Amino acid sequence: MSYETHISRTILTTFVAEFERSLRSHVIIVGAGPSGLVCAWKLAQRGFTVTVLEKRLAPGGGLWGGGMGMGAVVVEGDERPLLEELSVRCQPAGQGLLVSHAAELASALVFRAVGAGANLLNLTYLEDLVVKEGAVRGAVVNRTLVGQQLPVDPLSLDARAVLDATGHEAVAAGLLQHRGLLTLTGGHGGEGPMDARSAEAFVVERTGEVYPGLYLAGMSVCSALGGPRMGPIFGGMLRSGARAAELIATALETADKEGTE
């Protein structure tokens, strides 16, 4: 085997092993933005098997762009302990806010999530959900661009819970709404106009399960449930992801104790 072919084989065998590990997860997180990555990190830390689906090449969602392409990320002062846990530097910015470098925060979240054991499948998008006996039990996935442009059938991944962290699109929730299984109070893509303070509170308070086995976190919450948008402030995204992790972990642990799925 040539040197070049050995490189190819290494990539192939490593990916196949990782993909096979994702066939059965405790939790599938759709979207590798700030809320999805925090949730993946916290769940993986607690020993849950986590698969993260990201339709784009690079994880991190809207963090990289800061505000209008300027690489600064603003969060509330309450997020300092989380930033310190991530080893992300920050500076006071007035009015109770902190500012960090966008690339530093985005890369730290990716590093922590993957390092804790979450399996990240990039260039992979959610095409459908697996629903059995009135509950979401997995994800139907395909390769970005391939499945979207060619008649290529997807593959299915099992999970006990799925988190919609797809942002403004609220993709997973929208799939259930389209089939009449879920009514979104905000409509699909129904977030309201900018109100940063209210939005930051809304996105955390309304994080949770909206259909058996399907949870919302991050901007998907505002989009699906009609909350206002918050613009370039990311504290709510981080707290929403952490809250989703706690809710999902509690639900799974309770089900295990009771001997139910």
pLDDT number for residue 261 = 67
Q: Supply the pLDDT for residue 259.
A: 80
pLDDT by 10s per residue, the chain, length 261? 999 999 999 999 999 999 999 999 999 999 999 999 999 999 999 999 999 999 999 999 999 999 999 999 999 999 999 999 999 999 999 999 999 999 999 999 999 999 999 999 999 999 999 999 999 999 999 999 988 899 999 999 999 999 999 999 999 999 999 999 999 876 555 789 999 999 999 999 999 999 999 999 999 999 999 999 999 999 999 999 999 999 999 999 999 998 876
Residue 186 pLDDT: 64
pLDDT value, residue 190 = 76
| Token code pair at residue 167 | 């942002």
Q: How big is the chain, counted in residues?
A: 261
- CATH class of residue range 25-64+117-258: alpha beta
Q: What's the pLDDT at 187?
A: 54
Structure tokens at 134: 């009135």
- Both tokens of 233, joined, read 């402030």
Separation between Cα atoms, residue 54 and residue 62, nearest integer Å? 13
Sequence ranges of the domains in the chain:
25-64+117-258
Instruction: Say how many C-beta atoms besides its own lie within 10 A of residue 149's C-beta.
Output: 8
Give the residue carrying structure tokens 């006996």.
133
The pTM of this model reads 0.96
Q: Give the chain's mean pLDDT.
A: 96
Tell me the C-alpha distance between 236 and 259, whole Å.
34
